[in-house]
C-alpha cells in the first residue's frame, strides 16, 4: 500500500524512444526504407533538409509509414514501465523523433499518458527536450530514461534518472549529476554483434578461389597458395560488407521472418549507424586486398552484382537464382586469375549447372520454411510463393544431373590428354552427384534451414565426400 502511494506521488517517468525504448534509430530506419524508393522521392526531401532537422524529420515521416509493431523494443524496460504504470505512476514518451512516429508507438503500446515529440518546427533533442520537459513538469519535476550522452542536459534538469544500455563512462557521468533510480545494463557486446553480422561462417563459400589451382594439380605450388589466400581474404572482407548492406536493407522483412528476426540489426543488438559505417570500410578493405591479388576488377564486379542483388534482383523470380549462380562463379574465376591457373570451359560448364542447383536449393529451402498464411508478409521482397516449390525443385534437381553429365564428359574427353590414368577421376562423378542428391533430399525433408554451403559445413557426410574426392585427385596426381 505504501509502495503504491509512493509510486503514485513519484515524478512522471519520461522515456526516450530511439536507443532507449526501442533498440534502434527510427529516423535511420525510415531513411533506409527511402533508399529503396525511386530517386525522385529523395529529391523531394532536399528542400526540407535545407530548412532544418525538424522539417526534415517531418518530411521523412510523411513519406514513410514505419511499421512500429515490428520495432525491437527493450523488453526489460517495457516490463519496468508497465510495473510503474500499474502502481499509479504517470508515464510519458519524450522523444526527438517526429510526432507521427511517437504517436504511432504510443498507440501500439497503450502505455503512455502523454507524448512529447518533435514537430515540423521544433527538434526536441538534448537541451531542447530538457526545456520542454521542464516547462511541462517544472525543474527537477520529472525522472528521465535515456541512453545517450545527448541526454546529459536533460538529466541535469531531472530529479532522477533511468539509464538504459549506456557505456560505463556515461553511467558515471549521470551518477555525478543526479540520483539513478534504475539501471539497465547493455546485454550484448557491439563488437561481438558486428562480427556476427559479418557472418564469418559464410566465408567458407569463398574457398571456391582455391578450385582452379586444385583442378590444375598445383597442390605444392606455394605461390599459388599465397595468391589464392589473398583473393580469399579479399572476398571475405567484401562479402561481409555486402552482408551488412543486405541486412540493413532487409531489416524490416527480417523482423517478420521466423529465423532471421534474431539477426543483429533486426534485433537491435547492433545499431544501424554502425552498419552504415562498417559496410563501406569492409568494401574498401576488400578492394585494397584485391588490388594486391590482381583481381580488383572481378571483386568490384562481385560487389556491384551483390549489392544490386540485395537492392533489386532478389525480388525478381529466377533472375535471383541466376545472379546467385554467377556470384559463385565469379569467386572461382578470381581464383584462376590470382593463381594464373585459368578456368577451362569444361569447368565453367560444370560449375554453371552446379551453382544453379545450389542457388535453387537456397530458395526452395526458404519457401518450404515459410508458413503459407504468413507468406505475403514474410516474402514481401521475394518474387515467389510457396506454390512455386515444385517447379523450382524440378529445375534444381535437373541442373544437378546435368552438372554430373558435364563432369563425366570432361573426364572422358579432356583428361585423356592431360592425365595418364583418367579412369581414377571417374570416381569423382558419382561422389559429386551423390552429394547434390543428398542436399536435395535434406531440402525436401525440411532440414535445409540455411545456405547449402553453410549446411554442408556442418554435415559429416560432406566431409567424407570431400575427403574421397581429394583422395581420388591425389591418387591421380601420384600416378
pLDDT given for residue 6 in this prediction? 40
CATH homologous superfamily of 202-478: UbiA prenyltransferase (1.10.357.140)
Task: Tell me how far CA of residue 465 lies from CA of 148, 396, 437, 459, in angstroms.
Answer: 53, 20, 12, 10
* Residue 73 per-residue DSSP state: B
Tell me the C-alpha distance between 384 and 365, whole Å. Answer: 12
381, 414 Cβ separation under 8 angstroms: no
Going by C-beta distance under 8 Å and a sequence separation of 6 or more, which residues neighbour residue 448?
Answer: 361, 364, 365, 368, 439, 442, 455
Segments in the chain below pLDDT 50: 1-6, 8, 378, 415-417
DSSP 12: P
Q: Are strands 160-164 and 179-184 parallel, antiparallel or unpaired?
A: parallel
> What is the residue whose three cell numbers read 563501406?
280
Q: What is the DSSP string of 321-381?
A: HHHHHHHHHHHHHHHHHHHT-PPPHHHHHHHHHHHHHHHHHHHHHHHHTS-GGGHHHHTTT
Confirm if 236 and 206 have CB atoms less than 8 A apart: yes
- Residue/partner pairs of 328-333 with CB below 8 Å, 24 or more apart: 328/205, 328/208, 328/355, 328/358, 328/359, 329/355, 330/298, 330/301, 330/302, 330/305, 331/205, 331/206, 331/208, 331/209, 331/235, 331/302, 332/208, 332/209, 332/211, 332/212, 333/298
The residues, any chain, with a CB within 8 Å of residue 327's CB and separated by 6 or more, are 302, 305, 306, 309
Of 382, 20, 287, nearest to 170 by C-alpha is 20
Query: Which one-letter DSSP state was computed for residue 38?
Result: -
Following CA atoms 427, 431, 434, 439 in sequence, which dihedral angle do they give, to the nearest 10 degrees? -160
Cell of 249: 536493407
Beta strands in 90-240 (DSSP E): 91-98, 114-118, 143-146, 160-164, 179-184
Q: Please list the residue range(s) of the chain that carry CATH number 1.10.357.140.
A: 202-478
Q: Count H helices, E strands: the chain?
A: 24, 6
Q: For residue 416, what pLDDT is reported?
A: 45
CATH class assigned to 2-187? alpha beta
User: Cell triple for residue 80?
Assistant: 519496468
> First-to-last CA distance in the chain?
89
> Distance between CA 228 and CA 212 in Å, rounded?
9
Cβ partners under 8 Å of residue 407, min gap 6: 350, 428, 429, 432
Sheet holding 114-118, edge to edge: 114-118, 91-98, 13-15, 143-146, 160-164, 179-184
Helix (H) or strand (E) holding 419: none
- What is d(CA 187, CA 72) in angstroms, rounded to the nearest whole number? 14
Q: Which residues in the chain are classed under CATH 3.40.50.1000? A: 2-187
| Residues listed for the chain | 479
Q: How many CB atoms lie within 10 A of CB 371?
A: 10
> How does pLDDT run across 414-451, given as a tens digit for each residue?
544 455 556 677 888 999 999 999 999 999 988 887 67
What is the spatial distance between Cα 446 and Cα 393, in angstroms, rounded to a whole number?
A: 13
Residue 382 has a pLDDT of 65
Task: Please name which of 371, 387, 386, 362 lies closest in space to residue 440, comparing C-alpha atoms.
Answer: 362
Amino acid at each position: 500500500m505504501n509502495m503504491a502511494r509512493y509510486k503514485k506521488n513519484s515524478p512522471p517517468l519520461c522515456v526516450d524512444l530511439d536507443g532507449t525504448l526501442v533498440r534502434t534509430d527510427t529516423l535511420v530506419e525510415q531513411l533506409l526504407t527511402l533508399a529503396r524508393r525511386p530517386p525522385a522521392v529523395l529529391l523531394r526531401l532536399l528542400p526540407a533538409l535545407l530548412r532544418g532537422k525538424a522539417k526534415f524529420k517531418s518530411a521523412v515521416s510523411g513519406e514513410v509509414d514505419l511499421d512500429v509493431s515490428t520495432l525491437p523494443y527493450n523488453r526489460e524496460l517495457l516490463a519496468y514501465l508497465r510495473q510503474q504504470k500499474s502502481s499509479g505512476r504517470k508515464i510519458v514518451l519524450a522523444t526527438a523523433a517526429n510526432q507521427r512516429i511517437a504517436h504511432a508507438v504510443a498507440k501500439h503500446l497503450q502505455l503512455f499518458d502523454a507524448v512529447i515529440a518533435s514537430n515540423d518546427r521544433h527538434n526536441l533533442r538534448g537541451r531542447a527536450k530538457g526545456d520542454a520537459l521542464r516547462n511541462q513538469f517544472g525543474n527537477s519535476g520529472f525522472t528521465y530514461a535515456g541512453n545517450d550522452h545527448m541526454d546529459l542536459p536533460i538529466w541535469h534538469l531531472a530529479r532522477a534518472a533511468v539509464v538504459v544500455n549506456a557505456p560505463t563512462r556515461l553511467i558515471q557521468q549521470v551518477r555525478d549529476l543526479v540520483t539513478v533510480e534504475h539501471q539497465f545494463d547493455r546485454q550484448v557486446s557491439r563488437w561481438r554483434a558486428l562480427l556476427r553480422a559479418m557472418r564469418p561462417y559464410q566465408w567458407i563459400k569463398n574457398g571456391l578461389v582455391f578450385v582452379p589451382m586444385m583442378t590444375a594439380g598445383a597442390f605444392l605450388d606455394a605461390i599459388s597458395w599465397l595468391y589464392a589466400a589473398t583473393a580469399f581474404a579479399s572476398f571475405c572482407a567484401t562479402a561481409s560488407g555486402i552482408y551488412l548492406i543486405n541486412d540493413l536493407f532487409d531489416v524490416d522483412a527480417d523482423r517478420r521472418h521466423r529465423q532471421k528476426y534474431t539477426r543483429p540489426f533486426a534485433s537491435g543488438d547492433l545499431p544501424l549507424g554502425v552498419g552504415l559505417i562498417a559496410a563501406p570500410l569492409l568494401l574498401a578493405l576488400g578492394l585494397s586486398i584485391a588490388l594486391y591479388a590482381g583481381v580488383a576488377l572481378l571483386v568490384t564486379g562481385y560487389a556491384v552484382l551483390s549489392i544490386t542483388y540485395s537492392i533489386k534482383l532478389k525480388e525478381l523470380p529466377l533472375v535471383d537464382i541466376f545472379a546467385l549462380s554467377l556470384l559463385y562463379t565469379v569467386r572461382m574465376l578470381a581464383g584462376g586469375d590470382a593463381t594464373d591457373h585459368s578456368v577451362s570451359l569444361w569447368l565453367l560448364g560444370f560449375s554453371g549447372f552446379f551453382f544453379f542447383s545450389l542457388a535453387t536449393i537456397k530458395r526452395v529451402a526458404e519457401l518450404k520454411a515459410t508458413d503459407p498464411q504468413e507468406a505475403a508478409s514474410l516474402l514481401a521482397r521475394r518474387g515467389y510463393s510457396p506454390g512455386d516449390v515444385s517447379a523450382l525443385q524440378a529445375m534444381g534437381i535437373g541442373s544437378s544431373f546435368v552438372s554430373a553429365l558435364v563432369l563425366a564428359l570432361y573426364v572422358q574427353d579432356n583428361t585423356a590428354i592431360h592425365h595418364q590414368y583418367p579412369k581414377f577421376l571417374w570416381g569423382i562423378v558419382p561422389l559429386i552427384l551423390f552429394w547434390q542428391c543428398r542436399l536435395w533430399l535434406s531440402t525436401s525433408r525440411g532440414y535445409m534451414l540455411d545456405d547449402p554451403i553453410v549446411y554442408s559445413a556442418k554435415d559429416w557426410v560432406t566431409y567424407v565426400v570431400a575427403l574421397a574426392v581429394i583422395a581420388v585427385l591425389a591418387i591421380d596426381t601420384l600416378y
